[in-house]
Amino acid sequence: MLGVATFACGGDRDRDADTLTLWTSNNPPEITTADWAVQRFRESGGKAEAQPVPEGQSSEEVILAAVVGGTTPDIYANMWQGSVALYAEAHVLVALDTLDGFLPWLTARCTPETIAEVTAPDGHIYQVPWKVNPIRMSYRVDAFPEGAPRTYDEYLAAAKRLQADQSGDGYVDTYVGYTSPRTIWYERLFNFYPLYLAATAGAPLVADGKAAFDRPEAVAVFAFLRKLYADNYFTRDRLDAQGDPFLSRKIASKWTGPWDISYLERYAPADLKYDFAAMLVPNRNTDSLPPYTYADPKNIVIFNTCPNAQEAWDFLANGMLSLEGDLQLLTRSNQLPRRADLLTNPAFSDYFRQNPRMVPFAEQARRIAGVTHEPLIIEVLDVISQEYEACVLFGMKTPEAAIHDAAEAVNVILRADNPT
Amino acid sequence: MRRLLPDRLLPYAMVSPYLIYLSVFIAFPVAFSIWLTFHKWNIIGEPVAVGFDNYVRLVQDRLFWLSIFNTLKFLLLHIPLQIAVALGLAVLLDKPIRGRAFFRGAYFLPVIVSGVVVTILWQQLLATDGGVINRLLTGIGLGRVGWLVDPDVAMYAIAVMATWKNVGLYVILFLAGLQSVPEHYYEAARLEGANAWQQFRFVTLPAINPTFFAVVVLSTIGGFSLFIEPYVLTGGGPLNSTLSAVLYIYKQAFQYYHMGYAATLGLAFSMLILGVVAIQQRFIESDDDA
């Protein structure tokens, strides 16, 4: 029985060693794009197959199980940038900069900032910067007659005006916005973190093995968010299981990504006029570019179980990561390839002409950041989340104390992991 | 079989399926967990021996002790409430009332519904703004309660929800116990002049003591494994007030990949459950003996 179980578990290893395997997310447009790349590779004489990441509670758990079990695919296309450091430290990823053609391809495609962001402290690069979904603010046009708010003060002024109880039932009719109050770490990537990046022009949370966020801009972000809850402009209730509060006009804005465009086009009532704007900042700037925001980057990695990493890279470079592959990704899934020439390359012109709402997101893609290459980034975000709850949601700490305590706690964690 | 195996090996062959199960699914995981408590391991890399570091950290870990306190707070309401409600319903359903079979089925229904579904349903009921319960309260002129956002209330709200979810199982157990009480006990009590309460207190309760003990132990162990409700409803918040011990162990293991420390927490927690159940056994069974 044990023998049968062992054999069954190891079945994936019995596949044809010459055939590259690619796991994608289970998002249908991405599966189609991967299938297109596989077909193209086969036509050139290569052997490859693609499949969506196997079902599990989350794709992260499935990948982790595959790493532990030694059943990883050759290529995984959809890894959150924050997970890469953990796997790189465990030596289960191929250093892509050791492969022929990778560095020229990278420098031709990406900005120096992007390259710096994906470079590990050991100098190697373990991930291909593939796609981004910049976080911006969607808002109801009728709720902001003076145009999209750009600063904290403008947003708070609108919040005060919107916070009325016309129906007289004792409940706020319209909240100015909503963001998940859950304390789980990743929720901070969609409220605190993009605001922090906007306020600091893309500063990292961790630098040189220490917390780098104990600074006035982070305090200002906490103070702003804290006021939203203290004055009941945001609700501490979870609205995610009560239908879409934006469509039902319970809220006037939210922080979201470009995936919301096709969703709203499909489900928004005809009389609900909406638009998108940049993340809020403490003070108006005169810069022509939007303030920074979180990129929500998903990247591609090659696992070291791959018997021919060079062939895997060639497969990617000539397929999914080629100009045509990027266009396939963009047109099929409305996700932005992470390349510097997105708005200048004529290959994408038709797409942006036909999808004008995507243009601001593409412009935003010039001012985005992922997360620091840090194996303990989840714990860093978790610590911030704990202080966020105490300060922002419940007002039990001052913003200064909360940010300072979070930085101290993060430093303890980072020191414990790397005592030298 | 006798022809294939010598007589002295036959008994081992007969029990070998269970021995294999015991070895693979119980003995090995337990032994591996204990071994892990002396190591630092993130699943992906190699385990690193750290001696008693995990135990030292456990003693100093404020969140672990808070999670134990939260779990005990939950049990303090959940167990008495569950027993009282289950016993009350079982007594009612033991009587020849109309629609008895329907009610027996209806009370059991939440037990077989997925915990996640039940939790999402209760999220609608318990929301501060727009939740059904608060709408009812404000409708009769009372104030709103932050069922899931007030740190002083959230764990009790979860205890009530968990009771609603699980009570059906204990109703069935109590019903089985009640139906096993011989009728002539009650006849004798009535002849002695006992009223309904006295019959319940001095006949029913002692007679169902083994069931009572089973219910207390099962609901204690079930209560200690509180996980789905805070995981889905509150994520352990607000301000860690619903962070149960199992949820904390889960976070250490599967959010931070601190497998060694999570194993240490798990071992300490299982010892605590063992101790509590041993105390319960001593008190409840000694009542029976008396």
Range of weakest confidence among A51-55, B97-101, B193-197: B97-101
CA-nearest of A279, A86, A128 to A200 is A279
| Strands annotated E in A83-156 | 128-132, 136-140
- Nearest-by-Cβ selection for A87 from B44, B131, B255: B44
CB within 8 Å of A292: residues ≥ 6 apart:
A197, A198, A200, A201, A202, A279, A367, A368, A369
Question: Any CB–CB contact under 8 A between A379 and chain B?
Answer: yes
Per-residue model confidence (pLDDT) at position A173? 80
Q: Please state the rounded mean pLDDT for residues B187-210.
A: 91
DSSP secondary structure letter of residue A119: B
Asked if the Cβ–Cβ distance from A182 to B235 is below 8 Å, we say yes
Instruction: Give residue B116's pLDDT.
Output: 84
Is A166 exposed, middle or buried (CB count within 10 Å of its CB: 0-12, 13-18, 19+)?
exposed
Residue B39's DSSP bridge partners are: B49
Q: Do A64 and B44 touch (CB under 8 A)?
A: yes
Q: Is the pTM of this model over 0.90?
A: no
How far apart CA A209 and CA A401 sit, in angstroms, is: 21
Q: Tell me, what amino acid is at A39?
A: Q
Q: What is the pLDDT of residues B125-170, one digit of tens each?
A: 998 877 889 989 988 988 889 898 889 999 999 999 999 999 999 9
Residue of B nearest to A68 (CA): B44
The reported pLDDT for the residue numbered A411 is 94
CB A222 within 8 Å of CB A391:
yes
pLDDT at B2: 56
Who contacts A67 (Cβ-Cβ below 8 Å, separation ≥6)?
A87, A90, A92, A303, B43, B44
pLDDT single digits (tens) B139-150: 898 888 989 888
Neighbours of A372 (CB within 10 A): 18
Whether B128 sits inside 8 A of A61 (CB atoms) is no
**Model pLDDT, residue A176:** 95
Q: Considering CB atoms only, which of B44, B146, B254 is closest to A86?
A: B44
Q: Which of A59, A63, A236, A387 to mutate to test the interface with B (most CBs of B within 10 A)?
A: A236
Q: Which residues contact A248 (CB under 8 A, 6 or more apart)?
A: none
Answer whether B238 sits within 8 Å of A236, measured CB to CB: yes
Question: With contact defined as beta carbons under 8 Å apart, do B215 and B84 qualify?
Answer: no
In chain A, what residues touch B120 (CB-CB under 8 Å)? 241
Each residue's pLDDT tens digit, B24-80: 999 999 999 999 999 999 888 889 999 999 999 999 898 999 999 999 999 999 999
* Tally of CB atoms within 10 A around B274: 10
What pLDDT is attached to residue A1? 37
Query: Pick from A1, A171, A182: which is nearest to B130 by CB?
Result: A171
Identify which of A172, A237, A378 has the shortest CB distance to residue B127.
A237
Nearest-CA distance A415 → chain B (Å): 15
- Written as six digits, the tokens of A9 are 């578990």
pLDDT of A241 reads 67
Return the ∠ at Cα B131 (arms to B130 and B132), rounded to 5°: 115
3-state secondary structure string across B150-162: CCCCHHHHHHHHH
Q: Does A393 touch chain B (CB under 8 A)?
A: yes
Inter-chain residue contact B238 with A92, CB threshold 8 Å? no
Rg of chain A taking only CA atoms, in angstroms:
23
pLDDT above 90: residue B105? no
Cα separation, A135 vs A260, whole angstroms: 10
Interface test with B, best of A183, A232, A376 (most B CBs within 10 A): A183
pLDDT for position A8: 41
Distance CA A27, CA B202 (A): 64
d(CA A16, CA A18): 5
How much is the pLDDT for B290? 42
What is the reported pLDDT for A197? 97
Which amino acid is residue B172, in one-letter code? I
Give the pLDDT means over successive 10-residue stretches in chain A (420 positions): 40 66 92 94 93 86 88 94 91 96 96 94 96 97 94 95 75 89 92 97 94 97 97 86 86 95 92 95 80 96 95 95 95 94 95 96 95 92 94 94 95 78
Determine if residue B65 is left, alpha or beta; phi over 0 gives left, psi from -120 to 50 gives alpha, anything else beta.
alpha
C-alpha triplet A200, A201, A207: angle, nearest 5°: 70
Q: What is the ipTM of this complex?
A: 0.75
Contacts 24+ apart (CB under 8 A), A405-410: A406/A211, A406/A213, A406/A214, A407/A211, A407/A213, A407/A214, A408/A211, A409/A383, A410/A206, A410/A211, A410/A379, A410/A380, A410/A383, A410/A384
CB–CB contact B239 A396 (8 Å): yes
CA distances from A278 to A17, A239, A253, A358, B30 (A): 47, 23, 12, 13, 52
pLDDT of res. A113: 93
- The torsion region of residue B31 among left (phi > 0), alpha (psi -120 to 50) and beta comes to alpha
Cβ contact A389–B20 (<8 Å): no
Instruction: Show which residues on chain B lie within 8 Å of chain A, measured between beta carbons.
Output: 20, 24, 42-45, 120, 123-124, 127-131, 138, 146, 148-149, 151, 235-240, 254-257
* Cβ contact B127–A390 (<8 Å): no
Mean pLDDT, all residues of chain B = 89
| Nearest chain A residue to B232, by CA | A182
